[in-house]
Structure 1
């Protein structure tokens, strides 16, 4: 007996209705990207290994899917590493390419490679799949789509303001109201480390601070002390752990805490600029909140840091994030190109919309009317009408076989096709059609013009 087929862990098949729902999200995001002036690009699904390796840290490198060289890949293998069974040493000699881990590094490579063709500032968006050899869990897969938008070649804070508006526009268009756009600034985090005299422990400090909502104040302080940060140092920023109130109220507390830090004050200034602009411009359904514990992507973010959380009551991680980076293209030898970008978590957004039952009923319907098959003459009569409907932009199809009426009707019901069209001898003689509404059960005799108007 043949073994039942399966797919790799962390990957998924998508049914027609699931694909329709995903396309609904992608189309909503794409429409807003283009309204904001972003241009689409695409990059290959795999890159040269040296393009990707070393750009995501040790953990990221481990999660990159490597592609074996074609042909007899062991022929060029590092013999010493092969004999020692050292997988890390042997990999570069048997794998010259790898599946892309994200869209950011390929974008940086694209900018450097095409710098003479690009007009800066360059606003690009990219919606493509990426792959990570991660442990699969809810909302985390090994193959998934990223939806990114970036601006490179400008250090203007108006770009950050636009990205806050872009987040708001996308989630409003999806009907996902009540999302929170959290913002912080790398310079503020650097200011905290400077004020407590631990600038050399910035990463340790912020990694621990980022866990405040998960392990609580005592857990964070314990982790920081284990990294060598004294309790006296932590006392200097105690108010950070208790920070509450409006955006403006939090800013006032930060000004007191960071009054001796020039880099910290610069970060506050940038946050104030963004908040003041957003207050004047006003958001639709989202809200902007200052979260000083936010420290995602600290290895390359240099200014604003964004993270978007789902509406209250939905148990889901972030559904978007991004930030300002001052020298991302520097990894490919092109320094001094500032940029800022954000990403939308397609799969997590899908789960949130599903949980809140926010997908429109019509999203999964791709056929408006099914024509019943009564025989060859009737089918030809129907196909002429179907051709006119399709030319008018109406999706319609003929049941392919002359099956029993009940079977054809059940087929329409299972596919949730809203209308059925019948054309037998009487209808053909009169040049008419019988249109049946599958929800109400109502039937009416219509001409092709009336049929078209009803379906439109």
Structure 2
């Protein structure tokens, strides 16, 4: 007996209904991207490891899926190296490519390779899958889609303001209440500076980014484990636990970071974004959150994270400014800022809150019953006509029993069924059944089209 097939952990199959829901998500986000002038590109699923490694910090590098070289990948490897069983060292020789971890680093590579073909500022979006060798859990998968929008070649903070508007727009369209968290890596650098630990900025940001996951005590323990002195950790406490309105937090930070030039610069940037957003009048709440660090090494300015208010799940969108990412590919001085929507987590949120519109899930609007060859000849021209008018329609392919055909329509959640037997054909009409209410009516082809539309 053949073994039952399975799929890798952290991946999922999607049924036709689930795909309809996912396409609703992608199309909604895509529409907002277009609304703000972004253009679509695509990059390969795999990149050279030299492109990916070192861009996500040590933790990110460990989560890269590496692709084994084809051919004789043992060539050039000694028996001593094989017997040493050093997985990382062997992988560096076995593997030259990897699956992309996110869409931002491949985008930076794209900009550098195609710099002579694009106009700056360049506003691009991508909707593609990414892969991470993470531990699968609720809301976290090894294969998932990201929907990214980035602007490169502009230092203007108006880009950050528009990204916040886009986040607000997307979740208003979905009907999901969210909290938009904002911080600035310059503020975090200023904090590290005033506690005398500038060289530990990465360790500090990686640790405090975990505050909502592991709690303050564990964050402090991690900071201590990284060699940060106890007095510096104590100075950090009132800063990362800062409370009050956005205006109150900014006022406090101006005082606390007065001696740090980079810290004050970060405060000013946050203040501009928050004031601009308040003038526009976005509908979702926006909060300055100093615990927001986003552990990726390439952020240099504003950072964003979005949490759903009515569902317990991780962040469903995030991003920030990266002033020097293209520099690692030999193109200095190109600033960028972007956001990423986590389509798979949004999928779960909309499922839990039951927020999918019916028209997004129900593909076929009307099914024609198949009574036989003569009846099919009568139906086909009308079927073709309503399709040309933009109505999704189908005919059951076999002249099966009525119960089987009606069960098919019910299983596919088709809202209307059209029947044409001898009586209907004699009157040049159809019997149209509403599958939701059970009501039936005798209609002409034009009336059928109007009713279904």
- 1:305 corresponding residue in structure 2: 303
TM-score normalized with structure 1 length: 0.95
Q: 1:361-400 residue pairs with structure 2 within 5 A?
A: 361-400=358-397
- Asked if 2 retains the 8 angstrom alpha-carbon contact of 1:81 and 1:87, the reply is no
Q: Aligned residue pairs: how many? A: 453
- Spell out, residue by residue over 1:165-198, the C-alpha distance to the aligned partner (whole angstroms, 9 max, x if none): 010011111111x201100011111111111122
Partners of 1:442 and 1:147 in 2: CA distance: 42
Question: CA shift at 1:234, angstroms?
Answer: 4.2
Confirm whether residue 163 of structure 1 aligns to residue 163 of structure 2.
yes
**CA pair 203-99 structure 1, distance change in 2 beyond 3 A:** closer
Partners of 2:220 and 2:56 in 1: CA distance: 27
Confirm whether residue 229 of structure 1 aligns to residue 261 of structure 2.
no
Confirm whether residue 139 of structure 1 aligns to residue 139 of structure 2.
yes
- Spell out, residue by residue over 1:395-449, the C-alpha distance to the aligned partner (whole angstroms, 9 max, x if none): 1111111111111111111111111100011211221111111111111111111
Residue of 443, 446, 450 corresponding to 2:440? 443
- 1:428 corresponding residue in structure 2: 425
Secondary structure of the residue aligned to 1:268 is helix
- Asked if 2 retains the 8 angstrom alpha-carbon contact of 1:78 and 1:90, the reply is no
- 1:404 corresponding residue in structure 2: 401
**CA pair 234-64 structure 1, distance change in 2 beyond 3 A:** closer
Partners of 1:276 and 1:90 in 2: CA distance: 52
Secondary structure of the residue aligned to 2:74 is helix
- 1:149 corresponding residue in structure 2: 149
Tell which deviates more after alignment, 272-281 or 218-227: 218-227
- 1:263 corresponding residue in structure 2: 262
Partners of 1:149 and 1:449 in 2: CA distance: 44
- Asked if 2 retains the 8 angstrom alpha-carbon contact of 1:326 and 1:339, the reply is yes
- Asked if 1 retains the 8 angstrom alpha-carbon contact of 2:65 and 2:131, the reply is yes
- 2:206 corresponding residue in structure 1: 207
Partners of 2:232 and 2:99 in 1: CA distance: 44
Q: 1:13-412 residue pairs with structure 2 within 5 A?
A: 13-75=13-75, 77=77, 81-176=81-176, 178-284=177-283, 286-311=284-309, 313-412=310-409
- Asked if 1 retains the 8 angstrom alpha-carbon contact of 2:179 and 2:306, the reply is yes
- Asked if 2 retains the 8 angstrom alpha-carbon contact of 1:217 and 1:241, the reply is no
- Asked if 2 retains the 8 angstrom alpha-carbon contact of 1:187 and 1:264, the reply is yes
- Spell out, residue by residue over 1:92-134, the C-alpha distance to the aligned partner (whole angstroms, 9 max, x if none): 4433322222111111110000000110110000000111222
Partners of 1:150 and 1:302 in 2: CA distance: 15
- Asked if 2 retains the 8 angstrom alpha-carbon contact of 1:77 and 1:94, the reply is no
Question: Cα RMSD (Å) of the superposition?
Answer: 1.8
**CA pair 44-210 structure 1, distance change in 2 beyond 3 A:** closer
Partners of 2:345 and 2:334 in 1: CA distance: 31
Tell which deviates more after alignment, 107-116 or 210-219: 210-219
- Asked if 2 retains the 8 angstrom alpha-carbon contact of 1:418 and 1:439, the reply is yes
Secondary structure of the residue aligned to 1:250 is helix
- 2:8 corresponding residue in structure 1: 8
Unmatched tracts of structure 2, length 5 or more: none
Question: CA shift at 1:231, angstroms?
Answer: 4.0
TM-score normalized with structure 2 length: 0.95
